[in-house]
Structure 1
Amino acid sequence: MEKLRPQRLGHLVLAVRDIHASVKFYTEIMGLQVSDWISDQMVFLRAGTDHHDLALSQIPKDSPDINDLPRYTRPGMEHFSYLVEDRAEMDRTAEVLQAHGVEIVRGIGKHGPGENLFLVFKDPDGNNVEVYCEMTQITPESNYRPKVWERNIDSFDQYRFKHFVVPPPQAVIDAKTNKKS
């Protein structure tokens, strides 16, 4: 059977208890730069030219500190990612995953912040793994200015699920229709 063809480790998304304390730590102590925010619920940080190599996601303030995969209401990793070459490789990746019976969680989509294409799937332990491509590059010459995206479908998937190979997550559908699950 065919295998995936990752080029390199990409970014990591962490769920955090206090996003503002975490941003202060990662910018003032680690030296990362803010690329963008989604409301006050998610922030994208970079050390190099990729739009983000670390993203932080605010967990609900009332979340218990338990191991609760896959709801991600405790601090820790939400997903890590690998870069693939292009959209054609992303499509091939979805086919390979399906042929191997791997659970696909979300995608193929296009995020707002970073403009990258994404496909997220589960490893054998239930960890979210993402492959992505076409991420915005930020150089000193680009004069990039961070912005705050609304927390809506466009920040999650600019394609609006048109290219998803699985049904979109219920939480995203509920947010789109302003319903609570």
Structure 2
Amino acid sequence: MKKKINVRKLGHMVLMVRDIHKSVDFYTNVVGLEVSDWIEDKMVFLRAGSDHHDLALSQLPADSPDRDDLPKYTRPGLEHFSYLVDSLEDMEAAAEMLQERGVEIVRGIGKHGPGANCFLVFKDPDGNNCEIYCDMIQVTEENPHTPQVWERNIDAFDQWRFKRFVVPPPHQVVKDKQGQ
């Protein structure tokens, strides 16, 4: 029998939104989530429990011909959903298995700034972005977290700076890295 990824639970999802501030107001004041961190005013990480985030919201980019964002979306909706795996070693084994099966890997293996979680994103048969992650910050009474605003740069995207990526990094992030 072929290997498969040993996922532990459905983790978080990222939604593309038209108005990030209006959406934050809704998810905090109506749904009851708490803000964990921001990336400038382009992305916000929210939580209901102890995971650093179980929902992230990403501002749809302004229509501009010089923008080359990853991912490039023109409508609100799901950017990706994720599943928890036990360890970085499990993620590395998953990357190898996905490559053997010819599954398209979109980004990773990397380590995000907000949440400090390791990530690997790949496509399902319908083109949806599916992520596996591990080692996310846990927010508890014993381990409180003060929200911060990250700059929109390589460190927010991948603290390892593509050293563990199994595919070429996103064009825009490389461009931002070279501009530093």
**TM-score tier after normalising by the smaller chain length:** over 0.9
Match of 2:107 in 1: 106
Is contact 1:17–1:61 with CA below 8 Å preserved after alignment? no
Match of 2:44 in 1: 43
Match of 1:90 in 2: 91
SS of equivalent residue, structure 1 residue 45: strand
1:154 aligns with 2:152: no
Is contact 2:61–2:73 with CA below 8 Å preserved after alignment? no
SS of equivalent residue, structure 1 residue 105: strand
SS of equivalent residue, structure 1 residue 90: helix
Structure 1: 5+ residue stretches without partners: 64-69
SS of equivalent residue, structure 1 residue 148: strand
Alignment of 1:1-181 (within 5 A): 1-62=2-63, 71-178=72-179
Amino acid at match of 1:25: F
SS of equivalent residue, structure 1 residue 22: helix
SS of equivalent residue, structure 1 residue 20: helix
Distance in 2, Cα, partners of 1:91 & 1:149: 27
More moved, 139-148 vs 100-109: 139-148
SS of equivalent residue, structure 2 residue 167: coil
SS of equivalent residue, structure 1 residue 119: strand
Which whole-Å deviations, capped at 9, do the CAs of 1:137-173 have from their partners, x for residues lacking one? 0012323110000000000000000000011011211
Taking structure 2 as the reference length, what is the TM-score of the superposition? 0.92
Task: Give, in angstroms, the shift of residue 115 of structure 1.
Answer: 0.3
Task: Give, in angstroms, the shift of residue 97 of structure 1.
Answer: 0.4
Task: Give, in angstroms, the shift of residue 60 of structure 1.
Answer: 1.7
Distance in 2, Cα, partners of 1:160 & 1:55: 22
Task: Give, in angstroms, the shift of residue 22 of structure 1.
Answer: 0.2
Task: Give, in angstroms, the shift of residue 122 of structure 1.
Answer: 0.5
Amino acid at match of 2:100: A
Distance in 2, Cα, partners of 1:25 & 1:10: 21
Identity of aligned residues (%): 67
Distance in 1, Cα, partners of 2:113 & 2:175: 19
Which whole-Å deviations, capped at 9, do the CAs of 1:94-121 have from their partners, x for residues lacking one? 0110111000000000000000000000
State the aligned residue count: 174
What's the C-alpha RMSD, in Å, of the aligned pairs? 1.6
Task: Give, in angstroms, the shift of residue 31 of structure 1.
Answer: 0.2
Taking structure 1 as the reference length, what is the TM-score of the superposition? 0.92
